[in-house]
Structure formats: structure tokens, C-alpha cells
Chain A
Amino acid sequence: MIDNPKTGMTLIVKTITRLTVGLILLFGIYIILHGHLSPGGGFAGGVIVALSFVHLMLAFGKDVAISKVSKNLASNLESIGALMFLSIALLGFLGGSFFLNILPKGTPFNLFSAGIIPLCNIAIGIKVGVGLFAIFLTLVIVEKSK
């Protein structure tokens, strides 16, 4: 990561951020994936994923954060997340009714169980995470309008 001493916070904050940003992102993905086994799921995990990007922006300044996830990428990923959720729900039509749980359900308390619920959690996690970061970008980068 570029270490420009003029932007962002002090050296101590930047060093700790380099160590912890990956861990926060991994923790968020863990909460999204285990949404059907422990509390959390799509919304809460998505917020933690967004917070990792916000942490990056706070410590290093907005240019580094925008180079990782730009505004166009955020907007496109958000729409893709919503369309993924809608198409998973439409797959239920193959089984009978809208939003039916059609994938095999497996044994309880395993990671690969409970049908379509982990897939829905992943779609919501992508959408909420990227969407919250896009809101933050829009509020911080205020273009001067007349």
C-alpha cells in the first residue's frame, strides 16, 4: 500500500490497518457464510464487510480506497447482488411456488445444508456491503455543484 505521509492518519494507524483490514474482511465473510447456523446472516455480515473498506478509507485517505473499489464498480456490484437474489427466488418456480427451498437440505448443523439460504445470504451480503460503502463514498466525496 502506498504510504503517502501527507494523506490519511499517522504511521502507527497505517501499520495496524495493514494488519487488521484483511482480518475484518474475513470475519465479515465468516458471518455471512454461517448465517444459517449462528446469529448474523446477510445484513450483519454485509455491514462488517463494508466497515473494512471504510476502515481503509479512514486510515489511508480516499484515493487508496477508491482505487480498490471505485464508484462504478460499487454501483454495478450492487445491482448484480440484487439480480442474483431475485434469480435465486425465481428458481423456486421450478419446484412449485415462488421462493421455494429446492436445493437439498442435508443434515442439520453442517455448513452445506439448508437449501437456498446460504446462497441468499451471500447475495444479500454482497449487496449490503457494497451498497453501504457506496453511500459512504457519496457522502464523503461531495462534488461542488452550483
Chain B
Amino acid sequence: MKAIDIIPLFVIIPLAAAFLISLVGRFIKRSSEVIIFISSLALLGLSLYARFLLNSAPGKILVYKIGGWAPPFGICMVMDGLSSFMLVTVNLIAFFVAVYSLSYMNQYTDKPKFFTLFSLMVCGMNGVIITGDLFNLFVFLEIASIASYALVAFGTEAEELEASFKYAIMGSVASAFIFIGIAFLYSFTSTLNMADMARILAYKQNAWVIPFAGVLFLMGFGLKSSLVPFHAWLPDAHPSAPAPISAMLSGVLIKTLGVYSLVRVFFNIIGSTHGYLGILMFLGVVSMLVGVVLALSQWDLKRLLAYHSISQIGYVVLGIGLGTPLGVLGGLFHLFNHSVFKSLLFLNSGSVDYAAGTRDLKETGGLGKLMPVTAKTNLAASMAIAGIPPFNGFFSKTIIIIACLQKGFTGYAICAVIGSILTLSSFMKVQRFVFLGEVKDKLKNIKEAPFAMVFSTVCLAIICVLGGLMLLPSLRFFLDDAVAVVLKGTSYAGVVLEAASK
């Protein structure tokens, strides 16, 4: 087996794990937990290995042809700087969430089904990231979406079913828009391979089909990533899911299905022009402000965190929409940081829920003395999301603000600073109401969370603290390769087709 053969393993391992757990999980006790632990650890190791393998590949790109069929006839899997960056993010968070849910899901009745759906969701996300074919992206996007609709409704209480129904209908409408966009582009270029389509679209620039398909993609992927006119499903769906699934949804799903696909289609296939980038920046700034203002009046802990997800995705889209090297670096770095600290915040809210049995901020209080580890990790995550040095959120937000000022958008930079200040006030409220103050009578006997949950949260908090080190020159390659792929634009096509012909 050559080294390039590890690329399909990112889809094979979670798919095999999902169906194995579905088959033997009911007969052999605790087999589902062993299988999910091994598979997520293997995926994390493989993604880190692939990242280092890419350093020695010619042209920093690896193309795997499925079945030996060369593109444009066959489906190819492309591993370049942006794909390997997203793979490391997704598999890192998936591993820690899987470890956390080994003990959190003891409250629910059906653990094998949960791990089957979780593994299918990870398979779908990995497939979206590494594929090089537009319809294959749609199929994997649907796999991940359908798994997430079922996971949001996992507890089958009344509120969870209502939230899952809303999410499912809106997600299906978004997928319909994406499908019609793909249909228009296929009829225009008569190919489905991303690199081939980029090459053909570079010749035929002035046709009405390209902006039309672009707007359809913006509506579809914008709903999946919850930009502001399309955000209405997120505050209902993310709190209703069980806590590890909220961490996965808010941490990685809206980024792979939404932001990554948007970047691939807009920068590498259609080719970014000032019109599209201006729209992306405007939607990003509006998301930033709307999310953080609506979060100020929330008293439900997870609903507050969900509104902050909308706001932070606004930062990411603002950074990427700037189009300059510094802006895209800030946007992608903030994407990684937000995965880490938002997952940590949701896992902490799950620990509070597991121990105290409530999510309402008015009912909790003084838990800092009874759950010291959770209180300290929550403090670390709150300071990271608010942008206080030396946590990782500070570096990424500063880079985005400086990039805005460099390009002359001082209004957007001031909005970013205002958003950051309001985020800080919101999280000071959370810290005070949950962990400081007096302990209520009925909560006097709670203990710290079990070992698996504490392990995941402490590891994520350590990554929060050390995240700023990724800007050191020796580790910069991780982000720089991703930025280079985004800025290369449609010349990505030439690199892929040349690497595929070897």
C-alpha cells in the first residue's frame, strides 16, 4: 500500500464502525463504546499523519483516483492544504466528543443507535471535506445532514421533536436549492468534477447562469452555516440536542457543511469577484451583531451559546470575505479556534446539566465550589471566546480586525470590536450566574462530573491556552497551506488535473 492509499480511509473507517456498532452493539455489552473509541482515535491519528505527509508531496497536493478512473470521468479525492486543515479540526473535536459521550449518554436508553448515527455524521463530514466532485459533495452533505436531524431528536421530548422538525424542513429546502444550483452548473459545463468545472468556467465568464447558480449556492450553504437571514433554525436545534451533539453541531457541522463548502465553491470553482466578497462581508457583519445582541437577553444556557455561534460564524465569514492573505488567515484561524472553545463551552453546559439537572441560569448558582474543574475550564473558554490574551481567540480576532483596517473597512472593524465587548459581557453573566454566588438548597449534593467528561474538557482547555502557538514560524505551515489554497482561486484546477495525471 502506498502512502496515498490512506485518503479513502477517512470515509471507510467511520462507515464500517457505524454498521459494525449497529450489528453487534445489541448482543455484546460495551462493544459499541470500544469500537467508537478505536475508530475516532484512528481517524485522529490518520489526519495528523496526512497533514505531515502533505509536507513532502510535490505541489502540496495529493489526488486519489477512485477505481483507477482518471478525472474528468471518475471521482477523485483531493487532499490539499485546506482539506487537511479541516480534517484535523473535525477529527480532533470528534475524538474528544466521543470520549465525553462515553459517560454522558448513560442517561439515555439506546447507546448503540447513538454511536451509529454519530459515526455516520463523522463519515459524512469527512466525505464532504476530501471529495473532489460536486455531486459527491452533495451526497455526503445529505448523509451528514440526515444523521444530524435524527440526532437532534434523540431524546424524543416534546421540545426536541419540534426543534428537529423545524431543522429538518429548513435543511431539506436548503439542500433543494443546492441541488438546483448543481443542475444549472452541470447543464452549463457538462462535467461534475470540481477542477474540470473550474477550468471550463474560466473561459466562459459572461453568462447569466454563473451568478444565478452563485446566488442559489449562497442561499443553500448559507442556511447550512446559519448566516443571518437564514439562522432561524439554530437557536431551536442546538439547545435541544444532547450536549455532545450540540458540541458537534455547533463546533464542526456548521463549518464543514456551510463555510468550507461555500469557500470551495466560491473561491475555487466559480472564482471570487468583488461582488461576491462584498456580499459575504456584509452578511458576516450582520450575523456578528444580530447574534450577539439577541444573546444578551437569554436565560437558558445552551440557547445563549447557540446565539453566540451565529455571531462567531459572522467573524469567520467576515475574515474569509476580505480576500487578502491576512484576512483569510484570520478567518481560518478563527474557524479552528471557535471549534475548540465552542465545543468546550457546550461540553461544560452538558456537565452542569448532568450534575445539576437544569440548564436555566436562574436556577443554578455557586457551582464553582462543588465542581472546580468545570468552573476553571469554563473560565478558560469564556476568556477565549471574548478575545482576552493570551488565549487563542485573542489572536484570531485581532488578525481579523487588523485585516479589516488594512483594507479600509473601518466601519466593519468597529462592529467587530463592539461584538467582542458584548460577547465578554454575556459570558461574564454566565460565569457569575452558574459558578459564583450562593449554592441553592436542592443542589447541595452534586459532585464533579465523571472521569471521561473531565478528561475531554481539560484537554480542550489546554488546546485553548496553547492555540496561539500555532502562529509561530515553525508551525505556521498548518495555516499557511490552507490560506494558499483559498487564495489560489481557480488555478486550483490546473494543479489538481496535473497531479491526477501522474
Contact residues of A with B, CB < 8 Å? 75-76, 78-80, 82-83, 86, 89-90, 92-93, 96-101, 145
* Contact status B16-A86, CB under 8 Å: yes
For A90, the chain B residues whose CB sits under 8 A away are 12
**B67 and A86 within 8 A (CB):** no
Q: Name the one of B16, B19, B67 contacting A97, with C-beta atoms under 8 angstroms.
A: B67
B64–A97 CB distance below 8 A: yes
B67 touches A83 (CB 8 A): no
B156 within 8 A of A: yes
1/0 per residue, CB under 8 A from A, across B1-34: the answer is 1000100100010011001101100000000000
Q: In the complex, which range does the number of interface residues on chain B fall in?
A: 10 to 19
List the interface of chain B (C-beta within 8 A of A).
Answer: 1, 5, 8, 12, 15-16, 19-20, 22-23, 64-68, 156
Interface residues of B, dominant DSSP: helix
Q: In the assembly, what is the distance between CA of A133 and CA of B23, in Å?
A: 18
Give the nearest-CB partner of B7 in chain A: A98
CA distance A90 to B13 in the complex (A): 11
Contacts of B15 in A (CB 8 A): 82, 86
6 A–B contact pairs at CB < 8 A? A79-B20, A83-B20, A96-B68, A97-B65, A99-B67, A100-B68
Question: Do B156 and A79 touch across chains, with their CB atoms under 8 A apart?
Answer: no
List, in ascending order, chain A residues with CB within 8 A of B8's CB: 98
Assembled-state Cα–Cα distance A92/B74 (Å): 15
In the complex, what residues of A have CB within 8 A of residue B1's CB? 93
Known: A79-B19, A93-B5, A145-B156. A99 touches B12 (CB 8 A): no
Contact: B156 with A80, CB < 8 Å?
A: no
Query: Of A83, A98, A99, A145, which is within 8 A of B23 by CB?
Result: A83
Q: How far is the CA of A93 from the CA of B66 in the complex (A)?
A: 10
Tally of contacts, chain A with chain B, CB under 8 A? 42
Q: What is the CB-to-nearest-CB distance from B400 to chain A, in angstroms, rounded to a whole number?
A: 39
Contact yes or no, A79 B23, CB < 8 A: yes
CB–CB A83/B65 < 8 A: no
Q: Compute how far the CA of A100 lies from the CA of B22 in the bound complex, rounded to whole angstroms.
A: 27
B126 to chain A, nearest CB (A): 14
Q: Using Cβ atoms and an 8 Å threshold, which residues of chain B touch A92?
A: 67
Complex Cα–Cα for A145 and B109 (A):
14
* Complex Cα spacing A96 to B64, Å: 11
Q: Is the CB of A80 within 8 A of B23?
A: yes
Which residues on B sit within 8 Å (CB–CB) of A96? 68
Docked-complex contact B16 and A79, CB < 8 angstroms: no
Q: Which residues of B contact A79 (CB under 8 A)?
A: 19-20, 22-23
How far is it, in angstroms, between the C-alpha of A96 and the C-alpha of B65 when the chains are bound?
Answer: 11
- Which residues does chain B contribute within 8 Å of A89, judged by CB atoms? 12
- How far apart sit A117 and B22, CA to CA, in the bound complex (Å)? 26
Contacts of A82 in B (CB 8 A): 15, 19
CB distance from A84 to the nearest CB of B (A): 10
CA distance A89 to B8 in the complex (A): 11
Residues in A with CB closer than 8 Å to B20 are 79, 83
Once bound together, how far apart are the Cα atoms of A92 and B5, in whole Å?
12
Min CB–CB distance B415 → chain A (angstroms): 47
Going nearest first, the 10 A-B pairs with the smallest beta carbon separation are A79-B23, A98-B8, A82-B19, A99-B67, A79-B22, A79-B19, A97-B68, A83-B19, A100-B67, A99-B66
